[in-house]
Structure 1
Amino acid sequence: MTADTTQTKEKFTITTSTTTSSTENITTQVKALDIKDSQKSAHNHHKHHHHLLHKYNTNGEEASDDDEDDESCSPRSPVTLGPSPSVAKEHGLSRLIKNNRAWSKAIKERQPDFFEKCSQGQQPKVFWIGCSDSRVPENELLQLAPGEVFTHRNIANVVVSTDLNCLSVLQYAVEVLKVEHVVVCGHYGCGGVAAALGDHSYGLIDHWLGNIKEVKAQHQDNLDQIQDKEEKCRALVEINARNSVLTVAKSPIMKAAWERGQKVEIVGLVYDIQTGLLGELGYHVKNAEDLKAQLSVDSSALFSARAAS
């Protein structure tokens, strides 16, 4: 029998040996998941091959037996039954996966049924629209557990009426999850806002920054009166968040929710990275009347109120 014939046959027949290599056909690897009890001993010989993220140390050597005996490891990939060249060396995620195991263990020790309850559904009261900035983790700064805040994040927490991604998440939050608070949170030191203040071109992201530039143009005269560059950026952070609050409030999603009597408010917040504190911007919209009142405030009045505060 030729080598080619043998290889073809192995695509359709699982033998008692489940030894796999990086060159095996993917079909054979997937079928290996259906190994019967009669092959259990051979399977056990390779049961730890799915420790792909921590099986090897930084030198490419096998990890200690302590790691091998960790039964809380991630499920084995259906198409990667053993080590492959692409994962032969430990990488940055190894530490993160270990952190995850430690976190999961600590949660279970405090509340054994926590993850079981999480798996049954979510009932968050807060929908958070924030910046993608890694320094503004909403669960962490709000001290909320998984399942307590529904989230949408993008560069500079921008909400525009043409963003179907954001609006779809908003609709799900309001109509399905029945959240009570929609939070739009900007943050001082926002790179997206700072970029929008300048004239430098950044390529593709310029299309997104254009939304912030439009907000800047609406308040250009009042922004120009602020000489300090950092303070000007802080002001634009605030009015950019306000603009997103108003865009959410003007959406058909919120209009329909208020018309049917659903109690859901929109709140504008700002996060100060230097202090770790959240601040209220004074933009609260609970109904169509509140929206009308907010829309009646012109730029000069807005900046005067900001200076007074």
Structure 2
Amino acid sequence: MAADTIHTKETFTTTTSSTENITTQVQALDIKNPHNHHQHHHHLLHKYNTTETDEADDDDDDSCCARSPVTLGPSPSVAKEHGLARLIKNNRAWSKAIKERQPDFFEKCSQGQQPKVFWIGCSDSRVPENELLQLAPGEVFTHRNIANVVVSTDLNCLSVLQYAVEVLKVEHVVVCGHYGCGGVAAALGDHSYGLIDHWLGNIKEVKAQHQDNLDQILDQEEKCRALVEINARNSVLTVAKSPIMKAAWERGQKVEIVGLVYDIQTGLLGELGYHLKNVEDLKAQLSVDSSTLFAARDTIANTRS
């Protein structure tokens, strides 16, 4: 795989919603087999309707709330807190809206899941995978932790990976980092944060492997962005090196590992250039050294300026 594809310009855009009429037009991320679109539930995500009574009850709560395209709940940008009663009310409205569109949706969901995507992401509340991919419940199997770190000793993550690959037969394992990641930013510094230092140590090891090239980036924000990318790359490689993936590829299972990065400031996903479909792809990535990776970043930055 070419090393100069560390961060391509290709992006996936999410759909937009209108605050005024609270509507949404949902498009699926074209990461699945287009012939299986009839199995998806994107059509469930439609205009949010309330009764007159509900609207009256919501006047003091939702006057400034944009509606989330997928969850139909208040926008995360709202600066006021909502108690448990508000959360339960949101859930009731969400369930009602879906049932009105497809009465048997939850009954079908209760019978099992067949997601094609396994998402390994950050626990950051601003990176909700179903929402930014515009996929409905049942379409994304998920594991999240601080800074989307995958290490060979994390039995939690590896157990979820094994279930996703061997039982659910997912076709895409997506490792997604995000710019503005607090965990990555913390790993760049030398401060002690207590228990989490043990976890951040995994990112610090990645930083140490690329220290010389990171030191050449003077802008701290850009340095953090670079570490976000190579940290996600490291997790991609760790997944690919796992016995789980090795066994899957040996038996001919078609499952690829994809590296993505999410830009919170734009709402866009970008490819990191990693599409590992077999052991040969893994070997090619392992042969790419740090200097080559950072040279590729410089090339892309120059083409954008």
Structure 1-normalised TM-score? Answer: 0.71
Shift in Å, 1:78: 35
SS in 2 for 1:87: coil
**Distance verdict in 2 for CA 1:29–1:42, change over 3 Å:** farther
Shift in Å, 1:77: 30
Asked whether the 8 Å contact 2:7–2:272 carries over to 1, the reply is no
In structure 2, stretches of 5+ residues that fail to align are 298-302
Are positions 1:212 and 2:203 aligned together? Answer: yes
Counterpart of 1:28 in structure 2 is 24
Shift in Å, 1:16: 62
SS in 1 for 2:107: helix
Are positions 1:231 and 2:222 aligned together? Answer: yes
Give per-residue Cα distances to partners, 1:194-241, cap 9 Å, x unaligned. Answer: 000000000000000000000000000000000000000000000000
Asked whether the 8 Å contact 1:183–1:268 carries over to 2, the reply is yes
SS in 2 for 1:85: coil
Shift in Å, 1:27: 49
1:52 and 1:61 mapped to 2: Cα distance? 23
Give per-residue Cα distances to partners, 1:241-297, cap 9 Å, x unaligned. Answer: 000000000000000000000000000000000000000000111000000000000
SS in 1 for 2:62: coil
**Distance verdict in 2 for CA 1:251–1:94, change over 3 Å:** same
**Distance verdict in 2 for CA 1:83–1:220, change over 3 Å:** closer
How many residue pairs get aligned? The number is 300
Asked whether the 8 Å contact 1:55–1:62 carries over to 2, the reply is no
Instruction: Supply the RMSD in Å over aligned alpha carbons.
Output: 19.6
SS in 2 for 1:127: strand
Shift in Å, 1:53: 26
2:281 and 2:287 mapped to 1: Cα distance? 10
2:254 and 2:33 mapped to 1: Cα distance? 59
Are positions 1:169 and 2:165 aligned together? Answer: no
SS in 1 for 2:177: strand
1:42 and 1:261 mapped to 2: Cα distance? 22
**Distance verdict in 2 for CA 1:33–1:166, change over 3 Å:** closer
1:186 and 1:58 mapped to 2: Cα distance? 36
**Distance verdict in 2 for CA 1:112–1:295, change over 3 Å:** same
Asked whether the 8 Å contact 1:196–1:210 carries over to 2, the reply is yes
1:191 and 1:279 mapped to 2: Cα distance? 19
In structure 1, stretches of 5+ residues that fail to align are none
Counterpart of 1:42 in structure 2 is 34
Give per-residue Cα distances to partners, 1:75-102, cap 9 Å, x unaligned. Answer: 9999999999999999811100000000
User: Runs (4+) of structure 1 moved beyond 4 Å?
Assistant: 1-10, 15-35, 40-67, 69-91
**Distance verdict in 2 for CA 1:278–1:248, change over 3 Å:** same
2:4 and 2:229 mapped to 1: Cα distance? 68
Give per-residue Cα distances to partners, 1:113-159, cap 9 Å, x unaligned. Answer: 10010000000000000000000000000000000000000000000
2:193 and 2:225 mapped to 1: Cα distance? 21
Asked whether the 8 Å contact 1:127–1:181 carries over to 2, the reply is yes
Counterpart of 2:2 in structure 1 is 2
Asked whether the 8 Å contact 2:6–2:272 carries over to 1, the reply is no
Asked whether the 8 Å contact 1:60–1:88 carries over to 2, the reply is no
**Distance verdict in 2 for CA 1:85–1:108, change over 3 Å:** closer
